[in-house]
């Protein structure tokens, strides 16, 4: 046999071994080299199964695939604290560094060059995958434009978890302002906005009553004093792990707050580090996804809009987002599944928020309005309340006291 014939034979043998190995893996007959007894398995929705350990996640596609040509498919990978990376497949078996030091491989098991049941996707890092929640979207063309298959898996430290879903959202009573306290299923404390300075004492009392001993993340949705006025007292009273804000240019009062943040010495993240769609590295159990953020334009419309979710409960926190920002939200996310269980109504129930198009898109069962009793703005306005009522959305208001919504109400 000549040299050329031997090369062809070697290629055929390698291909047969690869296909046999993938088949044996799927049948559970063998493990991948990095797998050991600490490997965790979690069955996902009908579309996939995933096996995870510290260095790799192996995803096996099941049913409900589109059979789209691999050359027409994009994969978007979101790593905790790593942002997002995109990979346009070229067909067949291939690999790519999608995020820094994070590789992906696609194994076309049946060799048909389409996205089909049984195909494998492997996410791995030689240094180990970052702990937290990962997301992988397979974007495929269909008759309506694009179809997006979303997949989710957790990477947990050895000996940690698994956790039961046990999310709690506390809409605190800070008068005419916003402050939302979140306790995640892995017992992290997250404070989104901190109310006006006049309510700082009430805010600290409520945090203490909830058993807060630290703030793992502080999010300032936008630099208006009714949202950040109490933040300096929070920073003085608690160890704060990290701070997020839009990065808007603001006045002396907000600059003074940023000085306190600098004294705290915690990491600060703004629009320079974050893009819409990014998942924040706050919790190993819940998603904290930035749905909207801007560093210019109207301050209210630049609010950080945050989707907090696990497998059984979802909450959308909107800052003071108004009609203009809502329209951009609908434009950006109109083709995605962004139904939520709970909506924190934008801008205290102003008539300049809660458009019908926005409410229909996010489709909440419940809505909470953070508002002060007998406030000078007349919030909430009748127009916003009427739009909420027209869609049979149950409304609660913090002027009647703090409101707690817990996981068991939806799971």
pLDDT in tens, 387-407: 999 999 999 999 989 999 999
* pLDDT at residue 323, as a whole number: 94
Q: Interior CA angle at 266 toward 264 and 271, to 5°? A: 125
- What CATH number is given for 31-155 in this structure? 2.60.40.10
* pLDDT at residue 399, as a whole number: 92
Task: Measure the CA–CA gap between 80 and 98, rounded to whole angstroms.
Answer: 14
Contact 247, 290 (CB under 8 A): no
Locus of tokens 């060059």: 113
Average pLDDT of the segment spanning 33-56: 57
Which one, of 148, 141, 147, 71, lies nearest residue 113 by Cα?
A: 71
Contact 153, 311 (CB under 8 A): no
Is residue 308 over pLDDT 50?
yes
Is residue 329 over pLDDT 80?
yes
Residue range 47-59, pLDDT digits in tens: 788 999 889 999 9
Q: How confident is the model at residue 357 (pLDDT cuts 50, 70, 90)?
A: very high
More confident residue, 154 or 9: 154
Tell if the pTM clears 0.75, that is, is over it: yes
Is residue 309 over pLDDT 80?
yes
* pLDDT at residue 40, as a whole number: 33
Average pLDDT of the segment spanning 77-100: 88
| Beta pairing partners, 83 | 79
Is residue 2 over pLDDT 60?
no
Share of the chain above pLDDT 70, in %: 87
- Does the domain spanning 168-409 belong to CATH 3.60.15.10? yes
More confident residue, 43 or 186: 186
Q: Is 304 helix (H, G, I), strand (E, B) or coil?
A: coil
Q: Is 389 helix (H, G, I), strand (E, B) or coil?
A: helix
Please provide the average confidence, as pLDDT, over all residues in the chain.
Answer: 85
| Beta pairing partners, 317 | 306, 344
Task: Measure the CA–CA gap between 353 and 348, rounded to whole angstroms.
Answer: 9
Query: In the structure encoding, which two tokens stand for residue 44, read together?
Result: 């996902």
Q: How far is CA 404 from CA 177, 184, 349, 408, in A?
A: 17, 13, 19, 12
Burial class (CB in 10 A: 0-12, 13-18, 19+), 370: buried
Average pLDDT of the segment spanning 61-78: 83
Tell me how long the chain is.
Answer: 411
For residue 162, whether the previous peptide bond is cis, meaning omega lies within 30 degrees of 0, is yes
Is residue 90 over pLDDT 90?
no
Is residue 15 over pLDDT 90?
no
């Amino acid at each position: 046999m000549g040299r050329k014939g031997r090369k062809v034979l070697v290629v055929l043998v390698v291909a047969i071994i690869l296909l046999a190995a993938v088949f044996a893996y799927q049948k559970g007959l063998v493990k991948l080299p990095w797998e050991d007894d600490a490997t965790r398995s979690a069955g996902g929705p009908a579309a996939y199964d995933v096996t995870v350990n510290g260095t790799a996640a192996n995803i096996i596609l099941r049913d409900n695939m589109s059979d789209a040509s691999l050359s027409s498919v994009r994969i978007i990978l979101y790593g905790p604290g790593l942002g997002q990376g995109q990979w346009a497949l070229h067909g067949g078996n291939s690999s790519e560094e999608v995020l820094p030091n994070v590789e992906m491989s696609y194994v076309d098991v049946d060799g048909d060059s389409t996205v089909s049941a049984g195909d494998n996707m492997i996410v791995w890092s030689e240094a180990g995958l970052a702990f937290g929640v990962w997301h992988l979207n397979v974007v495929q063309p269909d008759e309506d434009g694009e179809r997006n298959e979303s997949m989710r898996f957790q990477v947990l430290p050895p000996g940690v978890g698994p956790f039961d879903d046990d999310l709690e959202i506390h809409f605190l009573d800070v008068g005419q302002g916003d402050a939302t306290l979140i306790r995640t299923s892995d017992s992290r404390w997250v404070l989104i906005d901190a109310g006006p300075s006049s309510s700082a004492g009430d805010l600290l009392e409520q945090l203490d009553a909830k058993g807060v001993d630290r703030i793992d993340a502080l999010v300032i949705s936008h630099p208006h004093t009714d949202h950040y006025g109490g933040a300096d007292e929070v920073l003085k009273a608690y160890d704060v792990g990290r701070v997020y804000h839009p990065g808007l240019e603001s006045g002396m009062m907000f600059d003074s707050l940023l000085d306190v943040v600098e004294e705290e010495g915690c990491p600060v993240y703004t629009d320079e580090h974050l893009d819409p769609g990014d998942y924040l590295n706050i919790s190993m159990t819940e998603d904290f996804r930035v749905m909207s953020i801007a560093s210019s334009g109207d301050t209210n419309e630049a609010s950080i809009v945050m989707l907090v979710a696990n497998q059984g409960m979802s909450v959308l926190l909107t800052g003071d987002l108004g009609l203009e920002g809502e329209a951009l939200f609908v434009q950006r996310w109109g083709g995605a599944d962004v139904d939520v269980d709970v909506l924190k109504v934008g801008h205290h129930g102003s008539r300049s928020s809660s458009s019908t198009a926005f409410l229909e898109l996010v489709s909440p069962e419940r809505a909470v309005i953070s508002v002060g009793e007998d406030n000078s703005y007349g919030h909430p306005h009748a127009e916003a309340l009427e739009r909420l009522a027209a869609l049979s959305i149950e409304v609660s208001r913090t002027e009647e006291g703090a409101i707690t919504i817990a996981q068991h109400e939806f799971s």
